[in-house]
Structure 1
Amino acid sequence: MSNRFSPVALIVLSLAIFAFFHQAAAADDAELRKALDAYIDGRWLPESEADKATEEIVKKIKDADCSIEKVEELLRMGRATYGEVKAKGKMLNLQFKNKDGKAGQTLQLPLLELQCEHVDYSTSFFLIVPKSYKPSKPAPLLIIGHGGNSAMSAEYATQATLGGTLPWLPIAQRHGMIVVAPLSERGWGGIGYSIIFSLLSWTQRQFNIDPDRIYLTGHSMGGHLSHRSAIFLPDRWAAVSPMSGGYDYVNEKHPKATRAMINVPGYATFGKKEPYDINKFNHIIDDWMQKNKFDWINAEKPGGHEIYNDELPKIAKFMMDRPRNLYRDRVYGYASTSVVYDTPETNPKWSQQHTWNPDRPIQRSTFHWLRMYPTSSDVPEDKREQRIWAVYEGNNRFNLTSENARKARIYLHPKMVD
């Protein structure tokens, strides 16, 4: 009797061995993913506990013989599990009228409660999940900032949010986008960014969000938010879409700040009959961007200060065609005496003034792979604004041209250097 295995038996045996090790590797990955989830969930631990947690997760990564590339892969896969969405709130019932004035379509939207993680302010947000969403597949996320002002009532904020959100719903469904639309009675400054990043943190824990397909848009005050976010927080977004917002970022408001918008693609819309010189400012921005070949579209429309529904499908396609690129070959850094949001605004019209948790600043110091640091307060005022133009030339060469910057850091990634 022969002791040799047949070719078929060898193939079956090889497949069985491969399946065994594959299942074992998958189990190890699942355990490490759970450990990484727990570590990230503990991001607000006291410093001593945080240091201990960091030591423990580093040990688990080493014990798993896991490379830094593998850790990144596991993080990008989302959480190990997603359970039932947990949030307090209510269902808002909307009744629309037909052209003849009679009752028409009805729509239910969940309006959920949100507690800011950085400042003592709470608000609400609308959440719309497409029918196509599956926890096993990362979904794009669209964040919508409403218009208005920094001292508005909850009812005004609700109506402004609905006005900016409803036109997006059929388009978001078509592209499989999850939509979150927060309310802010405090505008979109430091407190507003606490709202946005607290909401982003919550959403990423409840749903499998593609980290490279997070988009930001907004109208009027929300348009200003979108422009500012492109300037100061570009690495957070795949693309932005300001609508009827913007200042003269070329000459007046944060001079030369427009250059920082090269860090993220954008699709802006504005009307010919805008108030507050918004049309004029957008033309100045557009002229500068075209000369410098930015990946931006600035679409002027014949109307005024409004959302142009016919542009929304084009904006959505623009967004979906542009996943975030953390390893772009040129970035522009812009900073001054502060590179964080850590102080709440004040307003005599508010019923309550707010306090920021000093242990929870929001960083606005990183421009993809370039990090800026604050200017010292003893530097003359005309030297406080820092700018760095950083270019990756290939072959492990970086070229940095700086103005007033005294310190910077470059984060090297295997995708960029040997």
Structure 2
Amino acid sequence: MLFVAAMLAARPGLSQQASLEEKWRALFAQTSPAAAEEHIDAVLAACGDSPAALRKLFACDSAYPQLGGGLHRRATTVVDGETRYDVEYVVRVPGGYSPVRSCALLLAAHGQGGSGASITAMMQRGLGAEVEKYIIVAPTLPGPRRYAGAAYQEQAYLKPLAWARLNLNVDDDRIYVSGHSLGGHCTWHLATMFPHLFAAAVPMAGVPLFEGSPYTSNSYLENLANLPVWAIWGELDQKGPGTLSNVHFCRMAAERLRQLGNSKFEGTELPGVGHAGWWPKPEAYARYLTSHKRLAAPEKLVHFFHRARHGRAYYVEAIRLARDELDFSRRPQPKLRVQPGESLAEAAIRTGKQVYDKSLFKIWADLDKGANAMSIRASGVSAVRVYATEGMFDLSRPVTLRFAGRSWTGGISASARCMLTHYAATRDATAVICNEVDVDSAGKVLVRFGPSGGGETAE
């Protein structure tokens, strides 16, 4: 009934059988709602192209399939270059789930030799009775059981997550990622490269592992400035993805995050334990998750990356790079100088990092809500897209955007088409994107959704 009431409030005078509800449900019955332009057009026409009407619909949306509690097994495919991978995943729905109430979600990553089913069972034990407050999405990693930060490995987790957000009433401010061992590597990776998706991350017995590791292990940790991370590892954990053990890599990451002044990071080294056979106490694990909600529009952000697919940083995305991406197949071979107290392996990682870091793409953004302005700096990036998320700017006033030493001030309106297109892709009701603005280093600005639905260009 909440959804019907929202429909009536969104378009006074319509009956319960009126076209808006039918068109809304038809839109989200599509396999890919964001690509269903005819259905989007129909909803916009039915609600009078009104941003205010859409906000009410987003807030009370319950047009989800009815999925019963328990384990549901699903499958999808991901593609990396010319190779296709089949991905199986488990979705655990709590017994009390209802499409009319949003629910937190835990994206769970399994360890070496594990599966989506095995990590789901571990999360059930790890959360105890609190598990009934979470939808659990747990893919089984396809291909070689070695996490290397490859595109298909990312998508093996992100695609099932996207399915869950579209088909279950997920609280987008309470999406968490966690895993153990190989799943801990994955957790570090997803949290670091896609921090805007999550409220918090808990990697266990895993290390920051990316393409180009071990030289890139600490290259992107600046990206975690706005995401709470609780990393847990054993003092005696001698497992490792490369030249050093897990405990060494975890200590290096913790030290780097402390150097960066990251107040959201918590590192716990468990004395006297190794790689396996331990888990945080259920009450502590659940308490950590529930104490954090997503920060959708931080006032300051830093984002470092080597791949264009990692160019999104909350409300800013690199849409044109000023140079080619790094070729990771060409391993650095710099001359090593071992510093006092440093092992040969540590010297190799430090020196290799210096080489790879020269090719980093970098974005810094400062949001000044009082001045209704945003300042963006970048290295290796010649054009960015700003996602004007609701609450970032006062859209009744001119907005100022600064990029590459140039400044633009103008109007940005809330666009119903932009809002619905993004909502149809994510069903994110709390980080509503009202418009998109493209800015390049030459001073060209494009407000992508104008009053008529088309873009507006300004120099």
TM-score of the alignment, normalized to the shorter chain, above 0.5: yes
- 2:284 aligned with 1:314: yes
Which 5+ residue runs of structure 1 have no aligned equivalent? Answer: 1-16, 44-49, 87-108, 341-363
User: Which stretches in structure 2 are left out of the alignment for 5+ residues?
Assistant: 1-7, 328-355, 395-459
Conserved? CA contact 2:72–2:92, under 8 Å: no
Q: Who is 1:202 aligned against?
A: 163
Match of 2:151 in 1: 190
Deviations 1:83-138 (A, max 9, x none): 3569xxxxxxxxxxxxxxxxxxxxxx746241225463224333332222222111
Determine the C-alpha separation between the residues in 2 that align with 1:158 and 1:57: 34
The answer as to whether partners of 1:270 and 1:305 remain within 8 angstroms in 2 is yes
Q: Indicate yes or no: 2:226 matched with 1:226.
A: no
Which residue of structure 2 aligns with residue 290 of structure 1? 258
- Give the match for residue 139 of structure 1: 103
Structure 1 residue 248 displacement after superposition: 8.3
Cα 1:117/1:409, change in 2 over 3 Å? same
Q: By how many angstroms is 1:369 displaced?
A: 0.5
- Structure 1 match to 2:317: 371
Alpha-carbon shift at residue 21 of structure 1 (Å): 4.6
Distance 1:323 1:285 in 2: 23
- Sequence identity (%): 20
Distance 1:115 1:25, change over 3 A: same
Q: Distance in 2 between matches of 1:221 and 1:113?
A: 22
1:200: Cα distance to partner?
A: 1.8
The 10-residue stretch of structure 1 (231-240 or 396-405) with the greater mean CA deviation from structure 2: 396-405
**Aligned partners of 2:256, 2:79: CA distance in 1, in Å?**
36
**1:371-393 deviations in Å (ceiling 9; x for gaps):** 12353555898753111121213
Q: Flag the 1:369–1:133 CA change in 2: closer, same or farther, 3 A.
A: same
Show the 5 A alignment for 1:165-184: 165-168=123-126, 170-173=128-131, 176-184=133-141
- Mapped to 2, the partners of 1:319 and 1:121 lie a distance apart of 31
Give the whole-Å Cα distance in 2 for the aligned partners of 1:328 and 1:283: 27
Q: Using a 3 Å threshold, how does the CA distance of structure 1 residues 403 and 199 change in structure 2: closer, same or farther?
A: same
User: Which residue in the other structure is 1:386 paired with?
Assistant: 361
8 Å Cα contact 1:111-1:124 kept in structure 2: no
Q: Is the 8 A contact 1:223 1:243 kept in 2?
A: yes
Q: Does 1:300 align with 2:300?
A: no
Aligned partner of 1:358 in structure 2 is none
Q: Is 1:333–1:370's contact at 8 Å kept on the other side of the alignment?
A: no
Max Rg structure: 1
Post-superposition offset of 1:35: 4.5
Alpha-carbon spacing, 1:25–1:409, altered in 2? closer, same or farther (3 Å): farther
- Measured after TM superposition, the shift of residue 409 of structure 1 is 2.3
Contact 1:33 1:74 in 2 (8 A): no
Q: 1:55 to 1:123 in 2, by over 3 A?
A: closer
Q: Confirm or deny: 8 A CA contact 1:371 1:410 kept in the other structure.
A: yes
CA contact (8 A) 2:223 2:302 kept: yes
**What SS does the corresponding residue of 2:223 show, helix, strand or coil?**
helix
Match of 1:273 among 236, 240, 248: 236
Q: What residue identity is the alignment partner of 2:105?
A: L
Alignment partner, residue 399 of structure 1: 375
Counterpart contact for 1:271–1:304, Cα < 8 Å = yes
User: Aligned residue for 1:95?
Assistant: none
Deviation at 1:32, TM superposition (A): 5.0
* Distance change (3 Å), C-alpha of 1:72 and 1:200: farther
* CA RMSD, 1 decimal: 3.5
Aligned with residue 417 of structure 1, among 370, 376, 393: 393
Change (3 A) 1:316 1:118: farther
* Alignment length (residue pairs): 340
CA contact (8 A) 1:333 1:372 kept: no
TM (norm. structure 1) is 0.70
SS at match of 1:407: strand
Name the one with the larger helix percent.
1
In 2, the alpha carbon distance for the partners of 1:32 and 1:281 equals: 52
Distance 2:319 2:46 in 1: 35
Q: Which residue of 1 aligns with 2:220?
A: 257
Q: Which amino acid aligns with 2:134?
A: M
| Conservation of the 8 A alpha-carbon contact between 1:263 and 1:332 | no
Give the aligned partner of residue 333 of structure 1.
303
**Structure 1 residue 66: Cα displacement:** 4.3
How big is each residue's C-alpha offset from its partner over 1:269-325, in whole Å with a ceiling of 9 and x where there is no partner? 111111233222222322333341331211111111136433443232222222212
Cα pair 2:186 2:209 within 8 Å, conserved: no
Q: Is the 8 A contact 2:117 2:138 kept in 1?
A: no
